[in-house]
Chain A
Amino acid sequence: MTPRPGLVMEVDGSTPPLLFWNGEGFRLERLPEGTRVVYAPEPLAPLADPIAAIRHALEHPVGDMEPLSALLRPGMRLTICFDDVSLPLPPMRSPDVRQLVIEQVLELAAEAGVDDVVLIAALALHRRMTEPELRHALGDRIYDAFAPHGLLTQHDAEDPEGLVHLGRTEQGEDVEINRRAAESDLVVYVNITLVTMDGGHKSIATGLASYRSLRHHHNPHTMRHSRSFMDAPASELHSSNWRMGRLIAESGIRVFQIETTLNTDTFPAQFGFLQRREWEWTLRDRATYAATAAALDRMPARLARQIFHAIRAPQAMLSVQAGEVEAVHERAIASVWRQQGVAVEGQTDVLTMGLPYICPYNVNSIMNPILVACLGLGYFFNLYRGKPLVREGGVLILRHPTRPEFHPGHHPSYIDFYEQVLTQTTDPIEMHKVYEESFATDPWYVHLYRTGHAYHGVHPFYMWYWCAHALEHLGRVIVLGGNPSAVRRMGFSPASTLQDALEMATDVVGPSPTITHLHAPPLLMADVS
């Protein structure tokens, strides 16, 4: 059966209750008749032989670029950069695409006799990956060949020795990136373009950049003018990255970009009901839903979290393209659209969504309230091209428990952001002006970022800026089932039932509003006309 495209359906009297994600769990909610529901397209068939496809892509690059084997010679400095633990989501089953691609790149490098090879996890201001995470992303063979010799490194945006300032763009943006990459004869970037935001010049201009460089596009102004940041032409975030990327190319750094895309086969078979339309649930689906939902409600949050974070997605490679950055990216984006695009007609007054247990910044970690806001108002709100799914002044209803729990090792500055900044202001511009710098330069956060596994001190601010467009656009944000004090601290309204939430929404958008439910994940991109 060929995979079916996305679906926009209208709830009628025969529609069963629909699935809402609820952090480490889910709920079935009966939506009012007339509600539109946007379903993701079904997973497309993956490449039959990914390794052959990778080899082919390396030998037949797109854009102005020679085949990889022609670029490799003995005595050269080769640097291979790869996306960090934030991609893909959920972590995919072994072997990870990064492992598949880098193994092929290294086979070529070994054949060509390239001795000086270094791997860099392009993690920007994210936390450093742990050994098990690196082994999962790269495979044991690569890990064991490079890590013991110190050749498997993780980008350090706070290492003055390890950064080089390449210059300023015509708009005065500093471009400062990883020194090893900048001083290599060839940089191979191995990318996973999970959503349309990823990849392109953003890979290096963001992934290998310093705080000094990142602050030019990671700020409330840029994020408010990225509408959405999932749509590069309309995204100020991307314009800035593209200017930087071109400056990087002009400064003589040769980048061989490899972008891979994945299908949206997000959950393993036992959780199959999570990516099936409710009216098509089989007896088995219904039984597993009932059993899982009941069990999750009864178990401690910790255990539920462990179970969900152990999920490895059966996602498989949809396409791989290599060569010059922009030509590669264009093809990768087209592939993502083919998988995730859903045409939606017109905006809505009220947008509802259930938020899952994971976002890019809490892999193997805890989803704290700031990340909940970021996932809902940053990522899911922005899964659009054209116009936002919800009209200006409309209401967004999120479902998530939003417990004020933090991972002290991964998110130390988030705790202080929550207790010391959000208690004073929720305005991105205000916090940018008053608090950002003191968090960004706090020596303890820098220490934990560089030597532990902590996100950079400034990262919670970026998460809040990620929400800036939505915060400005929306009339109200209601968190369904959220911890009231955490929800209020972020300036949102808590509600205990969907009916209450919809009732509260009418205060803002008037009676009998139009409602749209975003049925994700699996991921989708709404093409709103």
Chain B
Amino acid sequence: MKRGLDFPLARPTWPANVERPAPKRRVGLAFDHGWSRRYPARLARALLLDNVTRPAIRLVTATTTRGVEYLEHLEAPVIFAANHASHLDTPLLLHALPARFRHKSVVGAASDYFFDRTWKALWWSLTLAAIPIDRNRVNRRSGDDAARIIEEGWNLIIFPEGGRTADGWAQPFRGGAAYLAHRTKRPVVPVYIHGMFRVLPKSLRDDRPAGGSGSEMRHRGLRRSPTSVLFGPPLRLEEGEDARHFAARIERAVAQLAEEVRSDWWGARRAGADAAMTALRGPDVSPWRRAWARDATPRRSPSRGGNWPVS
């Protein structure tokens, strides 16, 4: 039985013996995202952010924000470098940013994850002003793109870990943020996001008892839990400082913010670099003790009022 239309109403089939040019791929790093920074897209995004995303964030988490004062007199554009535990880190960070940054920021997103299909690329560019970043190697094209966008006056949010953490502790930072700062000579604001791992962690395939079939295991969804976003003082490239050195400085600055969550601001000042790094990356012990230490910290998390139901 025949269905549908025939040529010429339907698309012609290609003769098998005629060579066919390879289709142009318009996804990944090659995705054209210029439109997402023009006025109609910005308006749509601003409406979405303020009317949907931020209320939704407030539903799943009570956020404490610290260090916004550092941003007050800061001249845009800047680069925000944050640790990364959850898909919700970006909405949370946008939520915590002052409006003048919030509506003028692009987000560096993994090209292989967020830009691998046209519809995904369109969606993320529209909703978060995402731009594709090659997270596996330094890529000339994505670097050029990002630098140009910063020079156009856009702030950049970037997660130097290159992906979400699997166990709640941060992974070593990569050099992308420092490289871009070096190229554009713009300041980097270190950001530490705490608590998002409890709200929505990266789902792990073996997150179930050993030997399990997994068929009856519940997929874990959102869990309401308090979070905090800490901004540190902006870091500027020093005279003669190279990108590698600067990258290490960015990581230390984020680590110090992590230590501030664990103890307090003064404790973080006094703690040595190693102690701070442990607060960010976790102790170098067996997996269960790392997990045990991770979940011990929220007991001292900064909270407002303290009447939020801690799950």
B142 to chain A, nearest CB (A): 32
Comparing B98-106, B240-248, B281-289, the segment that makes contact with chain A is: B281-289
A521 to chain B, nearest CB (A): 29
Contacts of B291 in A (CB 8 A): 144-146, 148-149
Asked if B34 CB lies within 8 Å of chain A CBs, one says no
Asked if B306 CB lies within 8 Å of chain A CBs, one says no
Asked if B216 CB lies within 8 Å of chain A CBs, one says yes
- Measured between alpha carbons, how far is A134 from B208 in the docked complex, in Å? 10
Contact for A156 among B204, B211, B213, CB less than 8 A: B211
Are B288 and A452 within 8 A (Cβ)? no
- Measured between alpha carbons, how far is A151 from B210 in the docked complex, in Å? 7
Asked if B293 CB lies within 8 Å of chain A CBs, one says yes
- Measured between alpha carbons, how far is A144 from B56 in the docked complex, in Å? 25
- Measured between alpha carbons, how far is A151 from B287 in the docked complex, in Å? 9
- Measured between alpha carbons, how far is A144 from B311 in the docked complex, in Å? 14
Are B216 and A148 within 8 A (Cβ)? no
A188 to chain B, nearest CB (A): 14
- Measured between alpha carbons, how far is A110 from B283 in the docked complex, in Å? 11
- Measured between alpha carbons, how far is A102 from B285 in the docked complex, in Å? 20
Are B211 and A145 within 8 A (Cβ)? no
* CB-contacts of B297-311 with A (<8 A): 311
- Measured between alpha carbons, how far is A116 from B210 in the docked complex, in Å? 16
* CB-contacts of B254-299 with A (<8 A): 285-289, 291-295
Are B212 and A451 within 8 A (Cβ)? yes
Q: What string of 1s and 0s marks CB contacts (under 8 Å) between B186-226 and chain A?
A: 00000000000000000010111111110111100000000
- Measured between alpha carbons, how far is A297 from B212 in the docked complex, in Å? 38
Are B217 and A130 within 8 A (Cβ)? yes
Are B209 and A131 within 8 A (Cβ)? yes
Using CB atoms, name the residue of chain B closest to A106. B292
With A148-B167, A151-B287, A453-B216 in contact, do A134 and B209 touch (Cβ < 8 Å)? yes
Contacts of B311 in A (CB 8 A): 140
Asked if A476 CB lies within 8 Å of chain B CBs, one says no
B90 to chain A, nearest CB (A): 23
Contacts of A134 in B (CB 8 A): 209
Are B288 and A117 within 8 A (Cβ)? yes
Contact for A148 among B206, B218, B293, CB less than 8 A: B206
Using CB atoms, name the residue of chain A closest to B205. A148
Asked if A113 CB lies within 8 Å of chain B CBs, one says yes
A145 to chain B, nearest CB (A): 3
Asked if A115 CB lies within 8 Å of chain B CBs, one says yes
- Measured between alpha carbons, how far is A170 from B215 in the docked complex, in Å? 44
- Measured between alpha carbons, how far is A273 from B293 in the docked complex, in Å? 44
Contacts of B212 in A (CB 8 A): 128, 451
Asked if A3 CB lies within 8 Å of chain B CBs, one says no
- Measured between alpha carbons, how far is A156 from B208 in the docked complex, in Å? 16
Contacts of A149 in B (CB 8 A): 287-288, 291
Asked if A160 CB lies within 8 Å of chain B CBs, one says no
Contacts of B207 in A (CB 8 A): 147-148
Are A145 and B288 within 8 A (Cβ)? yes
Asked if A92 CB lies within 8 Å of chain B CBs, one says no
Contacts of A156 in B (CB 8 A): 211
Are B292 and A110 within 8 A (Cβ)? yes
- Measured between alpha carbons, how far is A315 from B231 in the docked complex, in Å? 46
Asked if A154 CB lies within 8 Å of chain B CBs, one says yes
Are A132 and B292 within 8 A (Cβ)? no
Contact for A153 among B210, B213, B287, B294, CB less than 8 A: B210
- Measured between alpha carbons, how far is A306 from B297 in the docked complex, in Å? 37
B256 to chain A, nearest CB (A): 24
Are B289 and A115 within 8 A (Cβ)? yes
With A130-B216, A451-B211, A453-B216 in contact, do A113 and B292 touch (Cβ < 8 Å)? no
- Measured between alpha carbons, how far is A181 from B216 in the docked complex, in Å? 27
Contacts of A4 in B (CB 8 A): none
Contacts of B292 in A (CB 8 A): 106, 110, 141, 145
- Measured between alpha carbons, how far is A115 from B290 in the docked complex, in Å? 10
Contacts of A13 in B (CB 8 A): none
Contacts of B206 in A (CB 8 A): 148, 150
Q: What string of 1s and 0s marks CB contacts (under 8 Å) between B21-42 and chain A?
A: 0000000000000000000000
- Measured between alpha carbons, how far is A132 from B206 in the docked complex, in Å? 16
Asked if A36 CB lies within 8 Å of chain B CBs, one says no
Contacts of A146 in B (CB 8 A): 288, 291
- Measured between alpha carbons, how far is A140 from B208 in the docked complex, in Å? 12
Are A132 and B218 within 8 A (Cβ)? yes
With A149-B287, A151-B287, A451-B213 in contact, do A131 and B208 touch (Cβ < 8 Å)? yes
Are A151 and B288 within 8 A (Cβ)? yes
Asked if A152 CB lies within 8 Å of chain B CBs, one says yes
B27 to chain A, nearest CB (A): 32
- Measured between alpha carbons, how far is A450 from B209 in the docked complex, in Å? 12
Using CB atoms, name the residue of chain B closest to A116. B286
Contacts of A110 in B (CB 8 A): 289, 292-293
Contacts of B293 in A (CB 8 A): 110
Contacts of B288 in A (CB 8 A): 115, 117, 145-146, 149, 151
Contacts of A453 in B (CB 8 A): 216
- Measured between alpha carbons, how far is A156 from B212 in the docked complex, in Å? 11
- Measured between alpha carbons, how far is A180 from B120 in the docked complex, in Å? 47
A217 to chain B, nearest CB (A): 26
B168 to chain A, nearest CB (A): 8
Contacts of B217 in A (CB 8 A): 130-131
- Measured between alpha carbons, how far is A145 from B167 in the docked complex, in Å? 9
- Measured between alpha carbons, how far is A453 from B211 in the docked complex, in Å? 12
- Measured between alpha carbons, how far is A450 from B211 in the docked complex, in Å? 8
Using CB atoms, name the residue of chain A closest to B197. A144
Contacts of B208 in A (CB 8 A): 131, 147
Most buried by A among B167, B211, B212: B212
Contacts of A117 in B (CB 8 A): 286, 288
Are A128 and B295 within 8 A (Cβ)? no
Are B209 and A144 within 8 A (Cβ)? no
B302 to chain A, nearest CB (A): 20
Contacts of A147 in B (CB 8 A): 207-209
Contacts of A128 in B (CB 8 A): 209, 212
Q: What string of 1s and 0s marks CB contacts (under 8 Å) between A88-120 and chain B?
A: 000000000000000000100010010111000
Using CB atoms, name the residue of chain A closest to B311. A140
Using CB atoms, name the residue of chain A closest to B286. A115
Contacts of A116 in B (CB 8 A): 286
Are A141 and B295 within 8 A (Cβ)? yes
Contacts of B218 in A (CB 8 A): 130-132
Contacts of B209 in A (CB 8 A): 121, 128-129, 131, 134, 147, 150, 152-154
A224 to chain B, nearest CB (A): 36
Contacts of A145 in B (CB 8 A): 288, 291-292, 294-295
Q: What string of 1s and 0s marks CB contacts (under 8 Å) between A448-481 and chain B?
A: 0011110000000000000000000000000000
Q: Can you report 8 A-B residue pairs in the complex whose CB atoms are below 8 A from each other?
A: A115-B285, A128-B212, A132-B218, A140-B295, A148-B287, A150-B206, A152-B210, A153-B210
Besides A115-B286, A130-B216, A148-B287, 4 more A-B contacts (Cβ < 8 Å) are A110-B293, A128-B209, A145-B291, A153-B209
A-B CB proximity, top 10 nearest: A145-B291, A115-B286, A149-B287, A150-B210, A141-B295, A451-B213, A148-B207, A131-B217, A153-B210, A145-B292
